[in-house]
Structure 1
Amino acid sequence: MNKIDEIKLALLASKLGPMYKADFDANAHEYIAYLLEENERLRKQLDGTADVIKVKENALTQLKDANDELATFISQQAMELEEARKIEFPRQMEGRGGWKIDYNFIEQIQQEVEHAFAHDVSSFEQIEAVLLAIENLAAGQEGEGNQ
């Protein structure tokens, strides 16, 4: 039988009559000393547990803060990536000549294709159509990543 059970039994027995009460009273100092020591031990254990909880709460707070920072960083990176994925070719000022894309830019594309691929590209309209299609395709691939 452990000490707590012994104390409980002695307290119960003390209610049965004076003879048992005398036994309880004789051991009362021992019981009180034990209970005070046990109380102190449990208080220290509780204090230690509270300290552990505080440390864990601080760690959790730091992890939450780091998670929030990471989420913000990822969101910013996603916006930057989306912005970087946008393709928009230079526009013709006020749509002069009926062109949407800058005529000089189309001419540069034509010269580059002829030079790099030895392929005659005479239709500026076709070049502009391809460039506009590229813009539309890039704009329509939101969230799909590079194909």
Structure 2
Amino acid sequence: MFDQTPEQGRPDRRAPSINVLGGVLEPCSTQPVTGFYCDGCCNTGAEDIGLHTVCVVLTAEFLVFSRSRGNDLSTPMPQYGFPGLKPGDRWCLCASRWKEAFEADVAPQVVLEATHAVTLHVVPLADLKRHAFRPH
């Protein structure tokens, strides 16, 4: 069922890279680098318990909300290679955190083409579309 990855010599347990619109999953961000697999995409697989699958454009309001929930995304942690995030950055967010922010009316915008289809197990497409990122 899973493909062998030559560089690792073990089964590749990633889900197919498909976005919520049914197309090929586009990159979310490489500046800063994001994704559970640190590949710039919101790819997911068996190891990704938190489902880091929603590509968002961060806002100050959401960063404050996330910090209040115990996940400080704005403070740099150089020991882990984490630069700290700021409004306007794109980031692969956990689907459950996005849903929580949505329910609190502070959800950041979503880049649908870069949001993994597995997200739809947690969040309805209609909710994601209501928060779709539209570049100016």
More strand per residue: 2
If asked which structure has higher relative contact order (CA below 8 Å, sep 6+), I would say: 2
- If the length of structure 2 is used for normalisation, what is the TM-score? 0.20
- If the length of structure 1 is used for normalisation, what is the TM-score? 0.18
More helix per residue: 1
| Greater gyration radius | 1
